[in-house]
Amino acid sequence: MQPDDSTRRTRPAEPVVLGRGTLAAAGLGEVTLEWSERGVTRLELLPRAGQAPALDPVPPRVASVLTAYFAGEEVDPARELEVDLVGTPFQLAVWRALRRIPRGTVRTYASIALDVGSPRAMRAVGLANGANPVAIIVPCHRVVAHGLELGGFSAGLDRKIWLLEREGVKVSGGKVVPGQLGLL
């Protein structure tokens, strides 16, 4: 019997990382970035165990946008910076939908599932959020659970709250204050 090749998937080639550097983010600590010639490939809010030190200077455009964002200026890294990501087709669709969420608003997992054409895939949206390698630039912190509860965040809820409040979203008692949900 011949093996069925129809279910095999070929993973796209990983981006060629040109550099790895850090930026200081008041309120968050040090963030680590990696980039290719096409865009940012990774932005980590927490250090990875066993990772070599990040010594390269961050590209000026990336550093400028993120520094302004961390300082509370009205910039949106999701709209202003390029990314170079590898993921499943579903993950890539979710990450594109996340980049369309305007600064200062939040969306639910259910509304993102609708955006990507899978209205019952709220958990899968959550998994794609958790696999997001480029926090802030792919703003997974702008996604909340049903009932405006914060849901999870791989870098910790304290950082999610800091990011949301930095963008002007009001959070109280582990929930987003009503009236800030962008449903369109």
Going through the chain in order, the beta strands assigned E by DSSP cover 19-25, 29-35, 40-44, 107-108, 143-144, 171-172, 175-176
62-91: buried (b, 16+ CB within 10 Å) or exposed (e) per residue?
beebbbebbeeeebbbbeebebbbebeebb
**Catalytic pick from 140, 163, 164, 169?**
140
Of 108, 165, 162, the C-alpha closest to 97 is 108
Question: What is the number of alpha carbons within 13 Å of residue 21 lying toward its C-beta?
Answer: 15
As given in the structure block, the two tokens for residue 173 are 């008692």
Q: Which residues pair with 181 in a beta bridge?
A: 106
User: For residue 154, which phi and psi values (nearest 5 degrees)?
Assistant: -60, -25
Determine contact, residues 75/65, Cβ cutoff 8 Å.
Answer: yes
Instruction: Determine whether 140 is an active site residue.
Output: yes
Reported as half-sphere exposure (CB side, CA atoms, 13 A), residue 166 has a value of 26
Catalytic (active-site) positions: 140
